[in-house]
């Protein structure tokens, strides 16, 4: 009996010790798991920032749901120092439309460019038969000369690096502030002087995470600091360029409301889809919403929605119809087919405008000669 009693006492002691020195509560494990996830998120941040600094547009679906936008700011923003980071602010959740901002609207035809030196102030800009522009991706390559005809007026390169022979060839150069990164802003402010070009192009697809990726109020603040002052140098100003994703419509409405007191002379848009009727509907909707003349600074007969791509014959027929539509629509001032370069970066190669030797493809010849 005594031995059994001793055994019970020993077991009780062991139970007490287990309760005293046992495992930590479950919530300690939960905290460790949360910290691990935070570290993984931070490790991926530099990769995301590098992707947003990509100069060219990347493939994207044109029928995705709209991305969130922020509540527009209505107070004026005075010029400040350049933003040093390209990190985009976290998007807010409101998508309520705001009333349009007051803008200075450009004429739908005639000489809507600004004056300056070199090729600036070309009187053909926006005129019927002279609405072709080149989205150029080859730096100072001399093949640029092979893409200048009487029908081609504008030239841009997604930045501020005007090709050395652009003025001599008779191009109007259109510098762009691509995004919010400190390097982009610094290069823009250093390069843009009176006479560099005629039109400032706004941010490249800020409604896309893989492009300049910013909310409308941030874009409006940067516009006021860095783009609006260029009017005093004689430049006209073109809005941020929306991708063909549907969220661009709400993004532009919110931007115009946030950019109170800004002057937006033209609206820049991009379009990638299939068929001339789709393009016409897309451009008409933007024009009806904002009432601004349009610069279509990227477009191609390209399917990013999972269906089949257009054939070569369909692309040629599309381009004929598109060129005719542009010429006969007074509120479309310029259209740049994508793109004069050797690599279309995910776009159907049947849309190529330039051969490997630098000369125009048959489609490129059609575009630069406004042949329809």
d(CA 251, CA 207): 7
Beta-carbon contacts of residue 32 (< 8 Å; ≥ 6 apart):
none
| Phi, psi of 32, rounded to the nearest 5 degrees | -65, -40
Whether 56 has a pLDDT exceeding 80, the answer reads no
Mean pLDDT of 264-289: 98
Range name among 46-55, 207-216, 305-314 with the lowest pLDDT average: 46-55
d(CA 12, CA 25): 22
Contact 219/192 with Cβ under 8 angstroms?
no
Q: At what angle do helices 276-290 and 312-327 cross, to 10 degrees?
A: 30
Mean pLDDT of 26-33: 30
pLDDT at 121: 60
pLDDT at 220: 98
Whether 67 has a pLDDT exceeding 50, the answer reads no
User: What are the beta bridge partners of residue 135?
Assistant: 156
The pTM of the full predicted model, rounded to 2 decimals, is 0.71
- Which one, of 152, 149, 112, lies nearest residue 132 by Cα? 152
| C-alpha atoms less than 13 angstroms from C-alpha of 260 in its C-beta half-sphere | 10
pLDDT at 122: 76
pLDDT at 7: 53
Whether 241 has a pLDDT exceeding 90, the answer reads yes
d(CA 122, CA 52): 33
Whether 294 has a pLDDT exceeding 80, the answer reads yes
Residue 179 CB neighbours (<10 A): 27
pLDDT at 88: 36
Band the pLDDT of 148: cuts 50, 70, 90: very high
- Which one, of 53, 366, 22, 96, lies nearest residue 208 by Cα? 53
| Phi, psi of 31, rounded to the nearest 5 degrees | -65, -40
| Phi, psi of 236, rounded to the nearest 5 degrees | -90, 160
Range name among 103-107, 162-166, 252-256, 290-294 with the lowest pLDDT average: 103-107
Whether 353 has a pLDDT exceeding 90, the answer reads yes
Whether 44 has a pLDDT exceeding 70, the answer reads no
Band the pLDDT of 119: cuts 50, 70, 90: very low
**Cα radius of gyration rounded to whole Å, the chain:** 27
- SS3 state of residue 249: helix
Tokens of 312: 């070569």
Contact 222/239 with Cβ under 8 angstroms?
no
Tokens of 195: 């006479």
- Which one, of 184, 192, 201, lies nearest residue 87 by Cα? 184
Whether 50 has a pLDDT exceeding 80, the answer reads no
Mean pLDDT of 311-337: 98
d(CA 368, CA 362): 10
């Amino acid at each position: 009996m005594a031995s059994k009693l001793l055994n019970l006492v020993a077991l009780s002691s062991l139970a007490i010790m287990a309760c005293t020195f046992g495992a930590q509560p479950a919530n300690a494990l939960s905290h460790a798991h949360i910290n691990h996830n935070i570290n993984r998120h931070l490790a991926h941040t530099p990769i995301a920032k590098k992707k947003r600094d990509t100069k060219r547009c990347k493939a994207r679906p044109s029928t995705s749901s709209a991305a969130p936008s922020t509540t527009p700011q209505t107070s004026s923003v005075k010029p400040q120092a350049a933003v040093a980071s390209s990190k985009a602010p976290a998007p807010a959740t409101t998508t309520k439309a705001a009333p349009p901002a007051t803008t200075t609207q450009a004429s739908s035809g005639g000489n809507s460019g600004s004056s300056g030196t070199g090729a600036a102030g070309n009187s053909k800009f926006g005129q019927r038969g002279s609405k072709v522009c080149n989205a150029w991706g080859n730096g100072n390559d001399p093949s640029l000369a092979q893409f200048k005809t009487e029908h081609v007026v504008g030239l841009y390169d997604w930045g501020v690096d005007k090709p050395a022979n652009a003025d001599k060839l008779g191009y109007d150069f259109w510098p762009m502030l691509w995004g919010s990164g400190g390097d982009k802003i610094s290069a823009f402010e250093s390069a843009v002087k009176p006479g560099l070009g005629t039109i400032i192009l706004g941010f490249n697809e800020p409604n896309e995470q893989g492009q300049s990726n910013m909310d409308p109020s941030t874009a409006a603040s940067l516009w006021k600091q860095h783009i609006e002052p260029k009017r005093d140098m004689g430049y006209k100003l073109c809005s941020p360029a929306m991708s063909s994703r549907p969220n661009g419509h709400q993004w532009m409405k919110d931007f115009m409301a946030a950019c109170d007191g800004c002057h937006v002379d033209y609206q820049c848009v991009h379009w990638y889809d299939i068929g001339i009727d789709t393009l016409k509907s897309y451009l008409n909707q933007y024009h009806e919403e904002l009432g601004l003349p349009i610069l279509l600074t990227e477009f191609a007969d390209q399917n990013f929605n999972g269906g089949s791509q257009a054939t070569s014959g369909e692309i040629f027929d599309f381009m004929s119809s598109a060129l005719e539509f542009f010429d006969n629509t007074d509120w479309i001032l310029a259209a740049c087919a994508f793109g004069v370069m050797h690599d279309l970066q995910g776009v159907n190669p049947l849309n190529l405008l330039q051969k490997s030797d630098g000369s125009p493809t048959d489609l490129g010849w059609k575009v630069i000669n406004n042949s329809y």
